[in-house]
């Protein structure tokens, strides 16, 4: 039987690369996105054809608990288990804290942090029954060190880091691991808000001399999913030596 994984935010960027990498490794997948339905359906079709794996797709908001609950239930009904949960969906907010509304704060926390609670709350019971599972949270170096003008985003990612360490301890007796990847600058739509000049200035600060690729984040996610059970509760930084 093929292993299975549920990946949030799989229509673009890092989540799409993770979907491609896991499908190539033979995983049946449940993929979700918020708005890019056409892109998600076309990715699913491509992965089914290329790798003969089963792909389920869901379009909805990870900040909406009933949506997450339905996605988990339908995935478990189809695949009977979820071996790997990858919490990747996320949004950024750039601006001064003093310009941020309470509504914007609640939106970013619900999307980036509460969504991680929701997927885990809905999927962990099945992993505990199976006495196995891997949870991988896509975090950010800003969760480690904080970024000016990204206070809410940094707080969410810092929250994910602490969530990872705490849940890793809670679930280790059930042979479930919880780890996070703290990404540096990965070349996706999320960074397309920067001008060419700003991108060049950013790259100059990175010892590796370039941005990371979504494929590199996906390779690390697959290594964690297939690696030792003794790797648990860790936040692994993937940033080309930047921070
Ligand atoms: P991206 O290219 O902007 O893609 C974001 C993905 O998340 C899309 O599939 C999007 O779906 C989905 N998504 C966003 N809000 C959602 C919601 N409410 N419900 C369901 N799906 C939602 O971003 P990315 O750069 O790949 O980032 C992926 C993760 O890596 C994020 O958690 C981000 O914080 C983290 N990260 C990225 C970088 C970086 O430099 N790129 C650095 C550190 C951490 P739609 O297409 O439907 O909008």
pLDDT in tens, 81-113: 999 999 999 999 999 999 999 999 999 999 999
pLDDT at position 27, please?
99
Which of 157, 202, 201 shows the shortest CA–CA distance to 180?
Answer: 157
Report the b/e string of 151-170 with b at 16+ CB within 10 A. Answer: bbbbbbbbbbbebbbebbee
Q: Which atom of ligand 1 is nearest to the CA of 12?
A: 9
pLDDT at position 17, please?
99
Q: Which helix (H) or strand (E) holds 131?
A: none
pLDDT at position 150, please?
98
Q: Is 212 in the pocket of ligand 1 (CB under 6 A)?
A: no
How confident is the model over 160-182, as a mean pLDDT?
99
Q: CA–CA separation, 80 vs 41, rounded Å?
A: 22
Q: Is 221 in the pocket of ligand 1 (CB under 6 A)?
A: no
Please say if 93 is a catalytic residue.
Answer: no
Q: How far is the CA of 88 from the centre of ligand 1 (A)?
A: 6
Residue 23 binned pLDDT confidence (cut-offs 50, 70, 90): very high
Q: How far is the CA of 173 from the centre of ligand 1 (A)?
A: 31
Q: Is 185 in the pocket of ligand 1 (CB under 6 A)?
A: yes
Q: CA–CA separation, 40 vs 135, rounded Å?
A: 22
For the record, the structure tokens of 36 come out as: 């890019």
Name the residue with the closest Cα to ligand 1, atom 33: 90
Q: To the nearest whole percent, how much of the chain has pLDDT over 90?
A: 100
Q: How far is the CA of 204 from the centre of ligand 1 (A)?
A: 24
Helices (H), 131-235: 141-145, 151-171, 196-204, 214-226
Q: Kindly list the distances between the CA atom of residue 203 and the CA atoms of 31, 53, 200, 209, 238, in Å, as whole numbers in the listed order.
A: 31, 37, 5, 6, 15
Kindly name the residue from 65, 93, 153, 230 that is annotated as catalytic. Answer: 153
pLDDT at position 86, please?
98
Residue range 221-241, pLDDT digits in tens: 999 999 999 999 999 999 999
pLDDT at position 42, please?
99
pLDDT at position 63, please?
99
Q: Kindly list the distances between the CA atom of residue 218 and the CA atoms of 25, 27, 34, 39, 64, in Å, as whole numbers in the listed order.
A: 11, 13, 20, 18, 26
pLDDT at position 11, please?
98
Q: Is 13 in the pocket of ligand 1 (CB under 6 A)?
A: yes
Instruction: List the beta bridge partners of residue 183.
Output: 140, 238
Task: Output 160 or 1, whichever has higher pLDDT.
Answer: 160
pLDDT at position 211, please?
98
Q: CA–CA separation, 153 vs 80, rounded Å?
A: 34
Q: Is 63 in the pocket of ligand 1 (CB under 6 A)?
A: yes
Pocket mutation for ligand 1, best pick of 14, 63, 87 (most atoms within 8 Å of C-beta) = 14
Q: Is 33 in the pocket of ligand 1 (CB under 6 A)?
A: yes
Mean pLDDT value across the chain: 98
Q: CA–CA separation, 67 vs 61, rounded Å?
A: 7
pLDDT at position 104, please?
98
Pairing mode, if any, of strands 4-7 and 28-33? parallel
pLDDT at position 243, please?
96
Residue 152 binned pLDDT confidence (cut-offs 50, 70, 90): very high
pLDDT at position 77, please?
98
């Amino acid at each position: 039987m093929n292993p299975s994984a549920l990946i949030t935010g799989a229509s673009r960027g890092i989540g799409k690369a993770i979907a491609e990498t896991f499908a190539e490794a033979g995983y049946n997948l449940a993929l979700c996105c918020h708005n890019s339905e056409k892109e998600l359906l076309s990715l699913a079709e491509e992965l089914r054809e290329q790798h003969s794996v089963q792909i389920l797709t869901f379009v909805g908001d990870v900040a909406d608990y009933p949506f997450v609950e339905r996605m988990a239930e339908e995935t478990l009904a189809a695949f009977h288990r979820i071996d790997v949960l990858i919490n990747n969906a996320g949004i950024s907010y750039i601006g001064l804290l003093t310009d941020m509304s309470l509504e914007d704060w609640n939106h970013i926390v619900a999307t980036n942090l509460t969504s991680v609670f929701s997927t885990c709350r809905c999927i962990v019971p099945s992993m505990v029954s199976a006495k196995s599972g891997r949870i991988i949270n896509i975090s950010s170096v800003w969760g480690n060190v904080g970024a000016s003008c990204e206070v809410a985003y940094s707080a969410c990612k810092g929250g994910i880091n602490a969530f990872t360490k705490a849940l890793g301890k809670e679930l280790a007796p059930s042979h479930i691991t919880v780890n996070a990847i703290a990404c540096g600058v990965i070349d996706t739509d999320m960074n397309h808000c920067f001008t060419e000049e700003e991108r060049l200035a950013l790259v100059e600060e990175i010892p590796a001399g370039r941005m990371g690729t979504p494929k590199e984040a996906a390779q690390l996610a697959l290594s964690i999913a297939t690696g030792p059970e003794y790797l648990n509760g860790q936040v692994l930084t993937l940033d080309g030596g930047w921070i």
